[in-house]
Structure 1
Amino acid sequence: MNESCSIAVSNPLCELARFGQSPWLDFIQRSFTENGSLKRLVDHDGLKGVTSNPAIFQKAMGEGSEYDTRIRQVLSERRVDAATLYEILAVEDIQAAARVLHPVYEASRRIDGYVSLEVAPHLAHDAIGTLAEARHLWKRVDRPNLMIKIPGTLEGVEAVRTAIADGMNVNVTLLFSLEAYKKALDAYMAGLEVRHAQGLPVSGIASVASFFISRIDARIDAAIDARLAAADPQAAALKNLRGKVAIANARMAYQYWREVTQGARWRRLAALGAQPQRLLWASTGTKDPAYSDVLYVDALIGPETVNTIPPVTFAAFRDYGTVAPTLTQDIPGVERVLHEADRLGLDLAGVTDALLHEGLAAFDAAFIALRQSISMKISSMEKGNAFANLHEHSSGR
């Protein structure tokens, strides 16, 4: 049983620890932390980390009135714009979650217990701007179990290298292809090497590489279905690939990780106390109702990995997930799936490239919408305050 689970009876989430995998939650919200829900997941389900992104913050802050009291309080103290107010709220949320997870951070010897905060999406192709914001957020949050999320673009990876050399914990996000993942892993090791060359310790620095799963199947399966509808002569072979390509892609990334961590370059860093950059499976909620809703958790369980799981999938896996060392199963079969996908012209490379651009655009749109909703709240509250002051003055109070 996972030692962080305090209940007498284990469940599939707790049992992931037996195979070296850490369940994280792809969700953050102020009330969820304040009402003890986050701590209950830590205590009862072995939760070991939290990830956030602009879309999650947009849902948390931009919808409903949960943050209104705090917004009014900030506005009563000083005049701020939407960007500044967002940062105040986000930093507070991250700090609060980091406090809940700090015991996990200590018990795991700084392997787990992290909370991720993403740099602004519009900086995805600006290495200098990304690094500047990463340094700013690292200083603002000021928690040892913070991870700065940086997208795995060419420019982002450049920033990752320096951020690691600075001693920050980094979550490299929006990785879809094996080639992009290789660059992220190399950037982590290169950053550690720079740090060592400067006479600084490389121990205690953590990184994950967020490798996205279900979006790949959603796109590949749609292409397969279109060809099936057109009576493609290769229908049988195409149909056999539905729901398999994303898992195969992830398992090959893990095979690459295993090769690298057994190599001389990594062994030199490990001897200095460095911990490996773990693969983190992201986008693991099932999008096709024809598949099991825990497919992308069941199929990707293996040592020194993380699965950041959406709340609905998290609850489903708790109830009926199957825990087994699946990540290294049938590698020859995995290779055949990818070979067949290539032979049949499913263009995995084109799909992963498109998904990166779409992911960046979606996060940027969510970030813009978030700032707009916060700006509207500021305007509404300021008008309300002005009306109240006018009414008070006209009443002679």
Structure 2
Amino acid sequence: MLLGTPAAPADAAESSLFRGTRQFPETALWNDSADPAELVRSIGFGAVGATCNPVIAYTAISKHLDEWAPRIARIAAENPTWGESQIGWRAVEELSIQAAKLLEPAFQASGGRNGRLSVQTDPRLHRDADALVEQAVRFSLLAENIIVKIPATAVGIRAIEEATYRGVSINVTVSFTVPQAVQAAEAIERGLDRRAADGLPEREFGSVVTIMGGRLDDWLKQVASTQRLLIEPGYLDWAGVAALKRAYAIFQERGYRARVLSAAFRNGLQWSELLGGDLVVSPPFDWQLRINENELPVVRRIDVPVDERIIAELSKISDFCRAYEPDGMTVEEFDDFGATRATLRQFLDADAQLDALVRDILIPAP
């Protein structure tokens, strides 16, 4: 019986995830959701962290309105001058604190390298580095094991360095490409070096640099369709994996203190092709169930390069070259990359949906 089946205890089955976390403990499993019910089950698979974003937070709250509607009403009653956005974000904070508590054992056991719960900065602040930093500092104080998401945009890269300097553990988000990952890692290095130069306390920040591999795949499929390019069937499912493997190799070569994190799952390759690496894989909970149900192989493949024929075929798409080469884009070009614009818009839409949900609770339709 597979892990995730209701009748099986979490520690009794030989699922792909459970075997992977035992055989390759350096490859950390994080749950791509802060939903406490999902996180408890994911911890049973070996998860030692969790990530969240505006879409995930909205989904978690809207799925459990029997619990969250009265909590949101209480937040509003305690803060009578607050608008929908402030109330909604306080609910996100409470969700995050609740989830972070579940990860405290992994945080203590790893000395802070794992056991982290990600909270994302408000995407409406994406043009204001100072505002991103101030919110990141605030979120970092919610719990000892909070890690804060800041986007890998031109403004975000500046905020990442400053927030790191101010003691915030960072999860770089809205990041899809090797150049974004490299520049974000460099920003974290600068922040850590500034702390050391100023004699600030050294500790394990546990910072990670996300590459949303599946969203890179999504964007390149859209580009190929728009440009009427015929790419070999199945090859476009390797683009995100190729970017993750290349970024990982660079991080290892250069000794960056942050780890690569794989997110935005679209296929099983984004699990199986990264096993054995000192990095984080963060599938949504349903993808964890799928991996287990299909018994994906547990074999070290992080060092196995993507087939050169696949890379050559993908290189017909100029945006793949921009995403795959470490110097494929300048920092100033990050904001205009198609996947960046699409994801920022989706996150902003989720903010608007959370506002509307709060409004419906406070002012029900007649």
Provide the TM-score with structure 1 as the length reference. Answer: 0.79
Is the CA contact (8 Å cut-off) linking 1:220 and 1:346 kept in structure 2? Answer: no
Number of equivalences: 341
Q: Kindly provide the CA deviation profile for residues 32-60 of structure 1, in whole angstroms up to 9, marking residues without a partner as x.
A: 44xxx533432x21111111110112222
Hey, what's the Cα distance between the residues in 2 that align with 1:91 and 1:64? 16
Hey, what's the Cα distance between the residues in 1 that align with 2:226 and 2:133? 42
Hey, what's the Cα distance between the residues in 1 that align with 2:15 and 2:64? 33
Given candidates 269, 292, 297, the residue that maps to 1:295 is 269
1:284 matched to 2:268? no
- Between 199-208 and 56-65, report the one with greater CA deviation: 56-65
Partner of 2:4: none
How has the CA–CA distance of structure 1 residues 204 and 350 changed in structure 2, closer, same or farther, with 3 Å as cutoff?
Answer: closer
Q: For residues 319-338 of structure 1, what are the structure 2 equivalents within 5 Å?
A: 319=293, 320-330=295-305, 333-334=307-308, 337-338=310-311
Hey, what's the Cα distance between the residues in 2 that align with 1:38 and 1:325? 26
Partner of 1:290: none
Partner of 2:208: 208
Task: Tell me the C-alpha RMSD between the 2 structures.
Answer: 2.5
1:254 matched to 2:209? no
1:299 Cα offset (Å): 1.8
- Between 104-113 and 240-249, report the one with greater CA deviation: 240-249
SS at match of 1:363: helix
1:190 Cα offset (Å): 0.7
Partner of 2:348: 364
How has the CA–CA distance of structure 1 residues 75 and 321 changed in structure 2, closer, same or farther, with 3 Å as cutoff?
Answer: same
Hey, what's the Cα distance between the residues in 1 that align with 2:198 and 2:76? 44
When Rg is computed on C-alpha atoms for both structures, the one with the higher figure is 1
How has the CA–CA distance of structure 1 residues 341 and 76 changed in structure 2, closer, same or farther, with 3 Å as cutoff?
Answer: closer
1:70 matched to 2:71? yes
1:150 Cα offset (Å): 0.4
SS at match of 2:203: coil
Is the CA contact (8 Å cut-off) linking 1:169 and 1:205 kept in structure 2? Answer: yes
How has the CA–CA distance of structure 1 residues 77 and 154 changed in structure 2, closer, same or farther, with 3 Å as cutoff?
Answer: closer
What percentage of aligned pairs have identical amino acids? 23
Hey, what's the Cα distance between the residues in 1 that align with 2:318 and 2:260? 25
Q: Kindly provide the CA deviation profile for residues 256-280 of structure 1, in whole angstroms up to 9, marking residues without a partner as x.
A: 111111xxxx5xxxxxxxxx21100
Runs (5+) with no aligned partner, structure 1: 267-275, 287-293, 384-397
Q: Kindly provide the CA deviation profile for residues 191-228 of structure 1, in whole angstroms up to 9, marking residues without a partner as x.
A: 1100000111222212000101112223333554677x
Partner of 2:39: 38
Runs (5+) with no aligned partner, structure 2: 1-8, 324-333
Partner of 2:60: 60
Provide the TM-score with structure 2 as the length reference. Answer: 0.85
1:380 matched to 2:349? no
Hey, what's the Cα distance between the residues in 2 that align with 1:57 and 1:307? 19
Hey, what's the Cα distance between the residues in 2 that align with 1:131 and 1:123? 10
How has the CA–CA distance of structure 1 residues 171 and 317 changed in structure 2, closer, same or farther, with 3 Å as cutoff?
Answer: same
Partner of 1:168: 168
SS at match of 1:149: strand
1:243 matched to 2:237? yes
